[in-house]
Amino acid sequence: MTVTVTPHLNFRGQARQALEHYQAVFGGHLVIATYADAGRADDPAEADLVLWGQVANDAGFRVMAFDVPAGRSWSPGEDPFYVSVRGTDATEVTACWERLAEGATVVEPLAPSAWSPLYGMVTDPFGITWVIDVEVLHAG
């Protein structure tokens, strides 16, 4: 059996834009199911919001998201989690960083760190903080 970890991001009205942004950064296939698609549009104004969405690419990147309906309590919180993106190729990691950093707030510039040849942290325009680094394989 294979177990993977996929961040599931919660938005209020921005899930589609966020997923499209992540697809532009990381590539891959975008799937979106709206509340209307699932027959769960209790409020017509929310019919086109994302009930479930995902971006996945062949390299293993995967993120899911949905729009929390107005009838449910929601607070974006303050740094409740980070999304970690790790790769083994510095060129590929740098390219992802450059695209993700566009229009974002750089928390830690992409640079060598004590644990990685390249590490950086950025908060995107949707308030999600991403940690991006080059994975170092440790013997163990």
- Per-residue pLDDT tens, the chain, 140 aa: give them: 456 678 999 999 999 999 999 999 999 999 999 999 989 888 999 999 999 999 999 999 999 999 999 998 888 876 667 898 988 899 999 999 999 999 999 999 999 988 899 999 999 999 999 999 998 775 55
CA–CA separation, 137 and 14 (whole Å): 36
At 1 the pLDDT is 44
Amino acid, res. 9: L
For the beta carbon of residue 103, count every other beta carbon within 10 angstroms: 8
Contact at 8 Å (CB) between 22 and 52? no
Residue 56, classed as helix, strand or coil, is: strand
Domains present along the chain, CATH in parentheses: 8-67 (3.10.180.10), 82-134 (3.30.720.110)
CA–CA separation, 43 and 54 (whole Å): 23
